[in-house]
Structure 1
C-alpha cells in the first residue's frame, strides 16, 4: 500500500474521531480542503454545516462512543466501518466514505447508518 493511501486512511480516522468526540472545527481546519461536499441529507453542505452538526451532536450526546472496525483505501477514497454506542446503549453500524483531493485533504463525504437490530436471521453480527 502506498504511503499516500496509508496517510489518507490515518487522516480519515483522526478527522472523524476528532469531530465525533467534540472538536469538529479543529478537524475541519486540519483535514478538510477548500470545499466540502456533504451527501448526508441531515447535514448542511460545506464546512460550517459539518461543524454545526457535530457541535450539536456533542452538546446533546456527550457520552457517545465510537470504535473503528475497518478502514479501506483505494485511489482517492477512504471507507470507514464503525460501531457507535449512544446513551441508553443505542448501537449503530456506520459506513463512511471520504474523497480526498490531490493535497490529501477531505473534500467529499457519503455515509450510511443503521441501528444494530436485536436479532439476525443469519446469526452473523454487523461487525
Structure 2
C-alpha cells in the first residue's frame, strides 16, 4: 500500500503541478478532498481553481520531489518548488492522506522560501 500511495503522489505532482493537467490529476483525488492550505479551497473545485491559477500566473512552475516517505495511508513529500525558472524557489513539505482506494483525500503543507545565504553549507535538500 505504501509504495502504491507514493506512486499516486508522484503522479499527482507530475500531472497536476508540472503538467498543470487538472483532468489527469483529478483522477487521483478521492470523492472528498480536505485542503489545509489556507489559499486553496476544499474539494475538487478548489483544486481545479488552484491549477487554473498556477497555469495562468506561473506557467513554468515545477515541483521537484526530492524525497517521499510513506506510512500507511499517509505520504510525506520533501519538494523543491520553483515558480519561475532561475529563482531559488521554495522548500516544501507536503502531507497527503489517501483513502483505501489509493486516492488523495487530504492535503496540508509547510513552505519556506530558499534564502540567498545560509549560516551553513548543507542546503535545504
Q: What is the TM-score of this pair, normalised by structure 1?
A: 0.90
Q: Deviations over 1:17-74 (max 9, x none)?
A: 211121123211x111110000000001111101111111011111122211000000
Q: For 1:47-66, what aligned pairs fall within 5 Å after superposition?
A: 47-66=44-63
Moved more, 113-122 or 40-49: 113-122
Q: Of 19, 43, 49, which residue of structure 2 is paired with 1:46?
A: 43
Cα RMSD (Å) of the superposition?
A: 1.2
How far apart, CA to CA, are the structure 2 residues paired with 1:63 and 1:34? 29
Residues 13 and 80 of structure 1 are in contact (CA less than 8 Å); yes or no, is this contact kept in structure 2?
Answer: no
Point out the structure with the larger helix share: 1
CA distance in 1, matches of 2:75, 2:85: 30
User: Which residue of structure 2 lines up, in the alignment, with residue 26 of structure 1?
Assistant: 24
How many residue pairs get aligned? The number is 123
Is residue 115 of structure 1 aligned with residue 113 of structure 2? yes
The 2-side partners of 1:56 and 1:82 are apart by 20
TM-score, structure 2 normalization: 0.92
Q: Distance in 2 between matches of 1:16 and 1:102?
A: 20
1:87-106 matches, within 5 Å, as: 87=84, 89-90=86-87, 91-106=89-104
**What 5-or-longer segments of structure 2 have no aligned partner?**
none
**Runs of at least 4 residues off by over 6 Å:** none
**Partners of 2:69 and 2:77 within 8 A in 1:** yes
Q: What residue is the counterpart of 1:86 in the other structure?
A: 83
SS at match of 2:16: helix
